[in-house]
Amino acid sequence: MLRVDRDLDAVIKAYDVRGTYPDQIDEQLATAVGAAFVQVVGATTVAVGYDMRPSSPALAAAFAAGVTGQGADVVDVGLVSTDALYFASGSLGVPGAMFTASHNPARYNGIKLCRVGAAPVGRDTGLAEIRALVGDGVPDVDVPAGTVTRREILPAYAAYLRGLVDIAGIRPLTVVVDAGNGMAGHTVPFVLQYPAATLPLTVVPLYFELDGSFPNHEANPIEPENLRDLQRAVRDAGADLGLAFDGDADRCFVVDEAGAAVSPSIITALIAARELAREPGATVIHNLITSRTVPEVIAEHGGTAVRTRVGHSFIKQVMAETGAVFGGEHSGHFYFRDFWRADSGMLAALHVLAALGGSPAGTPLTALLAPYERYQASGEVNSEVADVAASTAAVEAAYAGRPGVSADHLDGLTVAADDWWFNLRPSNTEPLLRLNVEARDVATMEHVRDAVLALVRREAT
């Protein structure tokens, strides 16, 4: 029996396993999770991939030993991005496990699990059972051990993505890619550079060397300071655009030719318009803190916009229920029906390259995106509060009943008027309220933002 004596609640989270190596997550835990995963999902074969962190290969091998000990086989896909692991799960028709701690610092590692076809595994879809099995001890089974087979999937991954978005015929573009020493340094060459000279792209690589100690900057492009090197490099190179990926290369952020960061909401609107041109009348999902531009653009292109709570499990679930073709989040996650409803920053990047490369010669990215620049956003503003419910109630009381103002509780509190809206939602893990405000102009946005923050923070003291 495999038993692990440690604090499992600290590492087995809502959507993944995450913690510091080796004190919270080690090989013994990985083996136990591998064995429990086989039992919970009933797998006969599991695809296993890992990122460039120094601890990743050993943890993946230990997990594989847990899988084979239960009689199931392992397809070892080696160093991959998280979306390439989803591709392995979808194309090979097997459950999968990815060893990564995404953008977290080097001392962290973790496991993202999925069922056949990249279907999510979260607390309510198997992770709680895995946690219980690991805690109680995973029973041994009397079966012959499974085998481990090494398989290279990145060429097929690249071929699949380029089949979904064809960039062979675009006008020549220069793109700076900041991989942040994460997995994009390994996957971008397959998708954008091989076979050599067949694509009309000049790729200027920044930090492509795989290095889990992240020597240049944190691989988390949602933080503005992590985009500075890319912004400078785009301007210095006179490039058409820049792309930044996070550590496991599932999220992608875009920088325009002037070096300005493009909001993921704008990218969501751009991709929505492209997907609706390909599939008229389709449904597109957006979470409730993406820009109001997104549902407007979806409607203008004849699509149906569906609004969801924040979080990938909600997006994937609603995409399956509605048959949606695409979904986007403000956080740089982009989900595609044709990619097993999983998220792929690389596929989003291909859409941007195809859109810009398909525009008339000389069109800068800022001009291409200008029709989507309609609102001013505050970005996410966090406030530490003693009583999340009391602070939220104070805000709601202040706005309820005002003429022309509506409120809903899909996720936290959303209050909307003609020219502005805000959402105030609690963190799942900390005593924080997260505020997002958007308005027609900067002055209105700042006025609403400061008024709501004053209410939140007055209640907190």
Minimum distance, C-beta of residue 90 to other proteins, in the bound complex (Å)? 6
What is the 8-class DSSP label of residue 386? S
Q: Which residues are 18's β-sheet partners?
A: 110
Nearer to other proteins, 114 or 368 (CB): 114
What CA–CA distance (Å, rounded) separates 69 from 278? 46
Q: Which residues are 287's β-sheet partners?
A: 308
Minimum distance, C-beta of residue 269 to other proteins, in the bound complex (Å)? 23
Minimum distance, C-beta of residue 47 to other proteins, in the bound complex (Å)? 10
What CA–CA distance (Å, rounded) separates 196 from 192? 9
Active site residue 427: no
What CA–CA distance (Å, rounded) separates 85 from 95? 10
Q: Which residues contact 365 (CB under 8 A, 6 or more apart)?
A: 240, 241, 254, 256, 257, 262, 352, 356
Nearer to other proteins, 256 or 343 (CB): 343
In sequence order, what DSSP letters do the residues of 418-430 get, joined into one string? SSEEEEEEE-SSS
Task: Tell me which residues touch other proteins (CB under 8 A).
Answer: 44-45, 90-94, 116-117, 151, 153, 155-156, 159-160, 163-164, 278, 320, 338, 340
Nearer to other proteins, 336 or 399 (CB): 336
Nearer to other proteins, 108 or 160 (CB): 160
> Which helix or strand (DSSP H or E) is residue 391 part of?
helix 388-399
Minimum distance, C-beta of residue 92 to other proteins, in the bound complex (Å)? 5
Q: Which two tokens stand for residue 396?
A: 């709601």
Nearer to other proteins, 116 or 417 (CB): 116
**Do strands 381-384 and 432-439 pair parallel, antiparallel, or not at all (unpaired)?**
antiparallel
What CA–CA distance (Å, rounded) separates 438 from 420? 6
What CA–CA distance (Å, rounded) separates 250 from 241? 19
Nearer to other proteins, 94 or 267 (CB): 94
Q: Is 245 helix (H, G, I), strand (E, B) or coil?
A: strand
Minimum distance, C-beta of residue 61 to other proteins, in the bound complex (Å)? 22
What CA–CA distance (Å, rounded) separates 111 from 124? 16
- Active-site residue among 56, 89, 102, 344? 102
Residues with a known catalytic role: 102
